Amino acid sequence: MKTIQSYEEWQIAIKKHDSLLLFVKTNHCSVCEGLFPQVKALKESDALPFYVLNISDVPEMAGQLSLFTAPVVLLYYKEKEYARFARFVPMEDLKYRMQELIDGREQRD
């Protein structure tokens, strides 16, 4: 898991990886704090690169990624947004979409 500290760092990350997961949180967000361990637990068993962004630290990313709430879980494939889950994330749906990316990558390898 790596923390995104700037928009430029984010641009490098999405160019570097074929697919990835971005967890967006903010300060003083109890939903963010409750969801983060659940998403992190998924990451430990999966092969997607995992990034975390505190939108309070990099506010320009809110406009760049059209973020209007937190938490947000974004899945990217080939530098494009593949799936977005905001606020209350259905974990089964997130697992399914993550598995789609992983399975697709394995078929290409």
- The average confidence (pLDDT) of the chain is 90
CATH 3.40.1010.10 assigned to domain 2-108? The reply is no
Determine how β-strand 2-3 pairs with β-strand 50-54. Answer: parallel
Confidence of residue 109 (pLDDT cuts 50, 70, 90): very low
What's CA 57's distance to the chain center, in Å? 16
Question: What's the pTM?
Answer: 0.90
Over residues 49-68, the mean pLDDT reads 93
CB atoms within 10 A of CB 10: 18
> Is the confidence at residue 108, as pLDDT, over 60?
no
Residue 102 pLDDT greater than 90, yes or no: no
Residue spans of the domains in the chain: they are 2-108
Beta strands in the chain (DSSP E): 2-3, 19-25, 50-54, 72-77, 80-86
pLDDT of residue 13: 95
Of the spans 12-16, 43-47, 86-90, which averages the highest pLDDT?
12-16
